[in-house]
Amino acid sequence: MLHFYGWATPNSQRVSIMLEECGLTYAVTGVNIRAREQFAPEILALNPYGKIPILVEDGRAIIESGAILLHLAERHGVLWGEDRATTLSWLMVALTSLGPFTGQAHHWTGLAPEKPEAARAHSTALVDRVYRLLEGRLAAVPYLAGQACSIADIAAYPWVAKHHWAARELSATPYLAAWFARMGERPAVRRGMRVPEGARLE
């Protein structure tokens, strides 16, 4: 039995979507980051970094959403798109740019008690740059790695779902908006976005 630890965060949703896409059976433990449950002793025993998501498989804890996606894709031979190198390239864009930049923008537009304009403008400009990149790519192909859905799309989708964190409107990037709608029609994506049941990121 696989055991998934996560919450309604984009990084957690990457993993729950992947588990659903793979058709796997798994147990779920919700870890509410707003309540700082990620620092509970039982979570730190699995990941001393105090972060989610975590996937426990065969008694070992796998941490970091990108590592979990790669592990599951390799183990089950799924969602590699048409070309491994291209898939890995766009996966890295989602892991190293889209996610971190959107998270920083969220801090400066929503979470920080003080919101200096320079910090807000810088962080949202970085998100704009990634969105221009994604828009150009998706103007040429239906999915980030080409003609088929891959782990690159799964890594990107939950973060694009939080576009409002960076004061973005998807209508400004029609090809990205069409991709977002296409991904949202996948049953596994719909199921994965609802795990853990009832979790909300306030």
pLDDT digits (tens, 9 = 90+) for 32-84: 999 999 999 999 999 999 999 999 999 999 999 999 999 999 999 999 998 99
For residue 35, the SS3 value is: helix
Using CA atoms, how far apart are residues 149 and 142, in angstroms rounded to an integer?
A: 8
Using CA atoms, how far apart are residues 149 and 183, in angstroms rounded to an integer?
A: 8
Residue 1 class from Cβ within 10 Å (0-12 exposed, 13-18 middle, 19+ buried)?
A: exposed
Element (H, E) at 15: helix 10-21
Average pLDDT, the chain: 97
Element (H, E) at 190: helix 187-192
**In which residue are the tokens 């990205």 written?**
176
Using CA atoms, how far apart are residues 116 and 123, in angstroms rounded to an integer?
A: 11
Whether 202 shows a pLDDT value over 80: the answer reads no
Mean pLDDT, range 159-187, rounded to an integer = 97
**In which residue are the tokens 């896409």 written?**
21
Whether 195 shows a pLDDT value over 90: the answer reads yes
Provide the token pair at 43.
């979570």
Q: How far apart are the first and last CA of the chain?
A: 30
The number of beta carbons lying within 10 Å of the beta carbon of residue 178 is 14
pLDDT in tens, 112-123: 999 999 999 999
For residues 21 and 192, is the Cβ–Cβ distance under 8 A? yes
Each as own residue / partner, the long-range contacts of residues 175-179 (CB below 8 Å, 24 or more positions apart, any chain) are 175/135, 175/138, 175/139, 176/131, 176/134, 176/135, 176/138, 178/138, 179/134, 179/138, 179/142, 179/143, 179/144, 179/153
Q: Which pLDDT belongs to residue 82? A: 86
* pTM recorded for the entire structure: 0.96
Using CA atoms, how far apart are residues 173 and 139, in angstroms rounded to an integer?
A: 10
Q: Which pLDDT belongs to residue 194? A: 97
pLDDT in tens, 96-137: 999 999 999 999 999 999 999 999 999 999 999 999 999 999
